[in-house]
Structure 1
Amino acid sequence: MRLSIPMAIAGPITAGLLLALLNLPAFAGDFEDGMQFVLAKNYAKAVESFRKAADKGNADAQFNLGVLYAKGRGVPQDYEQAAKWYRKAAEQGDVPAQSMLGFMYLKGQGVEQDYQQAMFWYFRAADKGYAVAQYNLGVMYAKGQGVAKDYEQALSWYLKAAEQGHAPAQSILGFMYLKGQGVDQDDQQAASWYLKAAEQGYADAQYAIGVLYAKGRGVEHNDQQAVSWYRKAAEQGNVDAQFNLAMMYAAGEGTEQDYKQAASWFRKAADQGYARAQFKLGVAYAKGRGITEDNYEAAAWYQKAAEQGYAPAQFNLGVMYATGKGVLQDEQQAVAWYRAAAEQGDPDAQYNLGVRYDEGRGVAKDEQQALSWYLKAAEQGYARAQYSLGVKYDNGEGVPQDYAQALSWYSKAAERGHPGAQTNLGVLYYKGSGVEQDYVEADKWFSIASAADYEDAKENRDLMEKLMTPVQIADAQRQAEEWARAHQP
């Protein structure tokens, strides 16, 4: 019999060493005594019995003794001793021992790290059909460890293991078909292999097939199936599945909307250090969605995600410091967190940092820095920043007055529905600043902004229409209605 103590292997999995009956009567006493001690969890006695059998050449006892040393069961953990006993068993042709010795060389545990030796021992086990070793060879070819990176060779070894029902190999085959690594990209083949692994309870594959159902890749789109597979993986602790399941509950996709369930799954993922879940849990606390509103908890969770570099959390934490919600108000801290997010390209943070430089809040006033950050956000299509740039060029603040530039930025923001930009764009058309004077175009934009209940636009429209003919007014209203229809959410 073999020990059932779990041992890590190369790649993203942990495999259990299976119990197997042996037909070795010459050593049956000591070896079987050792197994009985293992079952009783008396590992110290198991070590004594296995050592007696191992010293007599029992390969399975040698292997099990290696496992106990590797795990520190019944003896102090000692990788050198583990490698020594694995080697003795491996040199007798013990296949699992050969595979484990390959792992020791791969990781440099108890022996000097040596990819060539790792491959040597993996090959010996793999050639005898040992699925774990075949899978690990695939990993080494995929990563280029001890050999040139070769996805086709990786695929070949994964396939050998997968055809024996090895779930991690089936799952990675799904990934390779999905990405087209070493094989033509094929969503249906990806889904097929992921499903084989998922049905064996392999959490990573359950998560992956859930994603495919959610996106309709390789299988027909089915949010209910996505939720079902996410749940299976999530209940095994798969953090990505926990997060996605929470998102499905929050959106009411594939299941009834349930903010309480969403918050619960966000917490499970957040407790594992998943930054996006920590951020979402913070949002749930800030809005009181599925959980009692608590700005202090919101700030604490934003902080955890922000410290991992997650830009949306950094931005929200900046807002908390700016407003004094959940934390003591601190303008310098607000700027620091806005900057952290802005430097990662977050447009909300870039805009807010621009405002801080514009107003000299938490940082020395600097119009050029304000312009720089507005521009970064504006170039990402951020309407408020585009509007602010328009105002700068319109008024000549920090830049030479330039109505053409003002018109350009107002137009961009106006098309994105910014009522202030729409109003100012109307003013430029009314005055003919940076563009040919056009009362109809001016009234069109005033009407569009008025529909958003923007007071300045309403006043401007009323004044504008006193200068226009009924035909012009009707034309402007028609164009405004056409714009509104084209820009319906």
Structure 2
Amino acid sequence: MQWRDARLWWPRRRHQQQPPQPALGPRASAMVPPSGGVPPGLGGRPAGALLLLCYLHFVPSLGRQTSLTTSVLPSAEQGATYADFIYFTAFEGSVRNVSEVSVEYLCSRPCVVNLEAVVSSEFRSSIPVYKKRWRNEKHLHTSRTQIVHVKFPSIMVYRDDYFIRHPISVSTVILRAWITHRHSGGGLNVRGEENLLHAVAKNYTLLQTVPPFERPFKDHQVCLEWNVDYIWSLWANRIPQCPLESGRLCSTGRPPLVPFRALTLLLGIKPPCCVAFAGLISWHAFVQPHAVALLSFPYASSGENTGIVKKLLRFQNRELEATRSQRVDYPTVTVSLWLYLLHYCEASLCGILYFVDSNEMYGTPSVFLTEEGALHIQMHLVKGEDLAVKTKFTLPLKEWLRLDISFNGGQIVVTASLGWDLKSYHNQTMSFHEDFYYNDTAGYFIIGGSRYVAGIEGFFGPVKYYRLRSLHPAQILNPFVEKELGEQIKLYYERCAEVQEIIAGYAATVQVGRERRDTCDVYNSYLDLRRRYGRPEVCGALPWEKELRDRHPSLFQTLLQMDLLTVPWNQNDSVLEIGGRIFEKAVKRLSGVDGLHQISSVIPFLMDSSCCGYHKASYYLTVFYETGLNGPRDQLQGMLYSLVGGQGSERLSSLNLGYKHYQGVDSYPLDWELSYAYYSNIATKTPLDQHTLQGDQAYVETIRLKDDEILKVQTKEDGDVFMWLKHEATRGNAAAQQRLAQMLFWGQQGVAKNPEAAIEWYAKGALETEDPALIYDYAIVLFKGQGVKKNRRLALELMKKAASKVRQELRNKNSVCMQGLHQAVNGLGWYYHKFRKNYAKAAKYWLKAEEMGNPDASYNLGVLYLDGIFPGVSGRNLTLAGEYFHKAAQGGHIEGTLWCSLYYITGNLETFPRDPEKAVVWAKHVAEKNGYLGHVIRRGLNAYLEGLWHEALLYYVLAAETGIEVSQTNLAHICEERPDLAGKFLGINCVWRYYNFSVFQIDAPSFAYLKMGDLYYYGHQNQSQDLELSVQMYAQAALDGDSQGFFNLALLIEEGAVIPHHILEFLEIDPSLHPSNSSILRELYERCWSLSNEESLSPCSLAWLYLHLRLLWGTILHSALVSILPEPCPSTALPQSSYVCSERLQIYFLGTFLLSVGIAWMVLHFQCVSANGSSPAPAWVVADPTSSTPSPAVPPAADASDHDPPTMANNPEPCG
């Protein structure tokens, strides 16, 4: 429950704790280095610049490959000339263990000849690996030649083996030589770099490098032991591949479509601790291990405060990690991302890609979009300040563009390219004197929005991040893989622009007509009556061309039939209003008796409605295309409309996208961070939606179509259950009044949501019966002012009365039971916190309520620690706040759950290690309580109860595709019940698809595992039999405590199947203690019997009895046969002995038959006794009005609090 003002679920941070508002562009003009300053790219490092200038004459670019030698004769002294020269030739031309080099030189004075080999790798340069010097004092003015044997380190020349464990890969090997005069500062005692400054002649050449796996093995002249030699030979010719280091995430990986709970253990597989991003490692990733694919699939950004969170870990490779650590004050990184912008930022800034450090401050790099359409790039400086610059160009709207931003020390290069062919759009270079601080592991990246800033309105394409390289756009490999989908997005908005233009013109025409009529018409009573009660005024004709009308026939048909008086005046409102009317018209046709036959005819109307921004239509189109509902399946169009709906913040579309990325199904990649972005968007809206009186919402109830008892208590305003509750409530039954009020307030049990009527019952019960729970509930309503005028004084009085009344009752009962008291105590604490600002008194009440188990109080205490206002505690304590939020979440508190999911996705709290999958699970749990989803589920349930099969199938498909388990199993049940309907209208294997989806849910029901086990056992349509998977499914059901799972496993053993040992161990059956099938069967039947719900005999007990009788009978018959036939009958015997053997066998089989008849009679007798002894089930059951039910302040299942007032009490239960 939110105890603070708007947006409680995000922390209110103090000024110094918030990421600073990005600085604005004017500072950039002061950052441009003046003429004569440090050259761009050197980052204000004079020593590094001097060293680089010294190397300019002989160090080529790393990409250059040449074997030519070039004479370079710079002057050691200004204006001096020398006859000295030096040439050399490398005979091999490539790096060898010992390379022979011929050096020819001439000295005009006593000199020192220097020869040096310098190598460079991808992340380190100018590393000397060989040095040699010699003097020449006698042979002056004479050309001399000397042969030098250059010896390179073994790790550069040979392959890895048992002794050379870490060979290095070098990109460039430079052999350089120079001459210095001894009396000009070039003696032997002078250091190499300083000696080089006094060179009178110098030269260089490049040696060809050999890749590590093309090198020979070194003969170490060592004899290995045979076992060591054999083990090494197994690995000698293997070429290992570098992992995608930068993509490692601390989350447990699992392949898509593997049952979540325990099946990895069931299969005997241990998942890795840290895994790379999904997919195989490409060659590009192999040669560039620092490249990170932050996003590979389009992301629909709705312009709200949710986005994708990515966290990078340190490199495992020591060289890469050392390079990264050394560059914290000199970043060399590149960001490449695809964008499709629909609008510029409505606020001052919108998030594109930015880094948030461990102190929740913006870091380097941070890229935002301004309200003018320019880029705002912000950096954090080494000295602790922040620096920002704004680009001179603006980004185009409704065009796919690739944005490449490279950082090279103090230089930033921004390049924007348009379209798939990357047509150049704009390029800008900016240089700075300051040192940027860059540490990409001390925090997390965010793509889009967050609790600090809203995201852009549009779509993100692939996002690639190069951690250690500043690249030119031509060097960046970031293709748009889903190019066809991106093209469809562009075509969609082009078509929609035309539709919106038509509607805008229509609205303008209507407005002109209204103005003329209002100006010219005089008052006439007849005309007034005609306007009120006559036919709606419509347009007789529309002024658009025939070609345009042919492209949008459904739109023009709707416009011709529309009542002109109801068209809004505002253009944006008129577009959305007309889109809603088109949608309602289409839904009305789909809700008919034969509604599914109308799908093909309503699709054009839904397309026009989607173009008007009414994205409920977008979700309908998504489901139609992805499931093939009365039409061909089109996965591309399904993805298009799902993304369009998600961008429009449509609840069901976002749930659909979150679910598909969570499971990695229907061609959507498995991406938990992307799934979290969609789920968290709806999860944050769910508590707000629940307390909104308007809208098509209903409470999300877990009602299974296979449960007849629950179906019998579903009712409506004219149903028996509702009328009976109303009758009891009118008579003054407090429990019936509370239950009736809650059904009306939340829209439960089939009753339409009616908050006004609910409040009347709350008031009646509180003022007449003085029931403490009703008094408390009515106090909440008065505090919130929902459907009634706020009355804080009366609300406080009622709150105190409820608390004191409960205390009085408990005192009279002389009991220590606290049922019902904690809500009132929590409510009093909320009052002192919100209105009196008395935090000490509020904390006192909340601590007391928290001890009683109130989750709202736990959350409120967490808020006090988060804001740093807990009495007696100085400053904020995020650790304690997180612990209280976690405790509240475990009690079902919605905002506490949201906080926990946020902590798990960011990993910025030590007590909440980063776990993206757990973050998705918690956000999904809250998002699936959304009232708009509940409305769709309720419509499907009502249609099913009324026998409207077309409508029931439609709405359950719509709900099931959002990923909610109860709708998936219910839809599979409908498809089982009406296979003709499913086969005719669905282009998917309905039963298989949705039972299969359901077993991947966190809390999958055991009957779903049994269903999938049966489908694997028998095979289903195009699915082949798989006995192994069938055993796994039955075992999972058994693990969940379902007796049928144990029974089915036993039947499989009876049929000759073998249960693997790891599954038996999974079920805690020790194979060593149960070596035979009969022993395993006895254990399975005993567990089945112990879990059976029947009071008398059950199939499990009968099977157990039959097994023991068979074992007993087998033992008896074996003993009898041994006594009757002490020795086998001979194959060749006398006639008399053959007669004796035949007679004995007849006696044996006759005894077997009689005993079998006796066993069968006993089983039938027990069955009859069981049937006669069991009482028949009632025909219908009415919900107990005294059962514990939730309050109007919180969803019933969670019993969590609202953002403003405390929650209502459940009915107090008897203490005992």
TM-score range, shorter chain: 0.3 to 0.5
Structure of higher RCO (CA pairs closer than 8 Å, 6+ residues apart): 2
Q: As a proportion of its length, which structure holds more helix?
A: 1
Task: Point out the structure with the larger strand share.
Answer: 2
Bigger Rg over Cα = 2
Please, what TM-score do these two structures have when normalized by structure 2? 0.18
